[in-house]
Amino acid sequence: MLAGILAVVVLAGVWFVALRSVPVSVNGQELSVRIGTPFETFLADNDYFGATPGRLMSVGGNVIDERGGNPCAVVRDGQELTADEIAATAMGDGDTYTVSNGTDAVEPYTEEEVIIPPAVQKERGGAVQYVKQWGQAGHKTVLHGERSGETADAEGAVPATDMIIGSINLKPEGGPYVALTFDDGPSRYTPDILAILADRGVHATFFCLGNQVASNQSGAKAIVDGGHEIASHTQSHQNLPTLERDSLRSEISTAFDNIEQATGVRTQMIRAPYGAFTEQEWGRAGDIVGCNVLWNVDTHDWERPGAQAIADTVLNNVRNGSIVLMHDGGGNREQTVEALPLIIDGLHDQGYQIVTVGELIELDGSIPQAVVGNAVSMPEDAALPA
């Protein structure tokens, strides 16, 4: 008898807790529902109370299904429920719901983290080019739609910081100053040029070819021993914009290595053949180049117009901060050798002090000291555009 009574009590308790109906309010309508009924089931059984479903959208913002989005929007007791909350909600005694039209939903997708490389901006018109601002990579999340096959960028992308190449004509204070430079050596003409420079007590900058240095180490060492500045004209005088990345870097670094082996000097200064060092080359090799040095006065001595014509070109066109282009290799340079005393004496008569390119850069004062000291290094948090 007692056992029967207990069973009845237990069943009654189960009914009260789990099986009884409770009142709820939906859009102001009083309804009765079994307690604990999943809310999603309740919505489906009541055809979502006439709500119109939202659209299913692709990650690219295109409509995949006009009625494939969220079936309805729900507010319970004044609080809007998310789709996950709707799925987890069970009906309770006295709950109050507002059901309205559904919202658009985005198709299922996967995410991919993508690095955004920096671009290169290069200033124009200057004879000395250097890294003015290092680039930094950005990043973004790319969404890949599983139904549409579309891809789209998620919000919150961090943009890259561009690499900026400064390009200036030097304006040293306290001048006038001028730098004499020689390309394509060392050669059999280099000793004569060094002798003239020594006789007149001036120093110049020699942009040497790495293969010439490798075959004439004593000639390269004589440049440094004479107190002159040695820099690179690359390894073999190739047109750098035509090279692939690895070949470009090798053309530059091999010349630096050959110069260091012959002279003990590790330079980062180059003069690109034909002056051709574009944004592409900076993007591929900006971490190993301190500066690219062009010129303001081109003597055209390689055309062999005559010693006086070479000298006149310099003396009639030089300005404070000028960089003069001549050659000590790459062909017959007898006229250059003959013109050099005329140039030096004429510059002195005009009041010019003759210095190296490095000294000219330092006297200008606007370029980072690391460029002058051949000590440029790319920061750890920087990135090359390539």
Residues that are catalytic? 183, 327
Q: Which of 164, 99, 181 is nearest to 357 (CA)?
A: 181
> Residue 125 has which token pair?
């018109």
Distance CA 163, CA 152 (A): 26
Amino acid at 297: V
Residue 146 CB coordination number (10 Å): 13
With beta carbons less than 8 A apart as the criterion, state whether 342 and 336 touch: no
Q: What SS3 state is found at 316?
A: helix
Task: Sheet with 96-101: list strands edge to edge.
Answer: 29-34, 21-26, 96-101, 72-76, 79-80
With beta carbons less than 8 A apart as the criterion, state whether 143 and 154 touch: yes
With beta carbons less than 8 A apart as the criterion, state whether 176 and 364 touch: no
With beta carbons less than 8 A apart as the criterion, state whether 343 and 308 touch: no
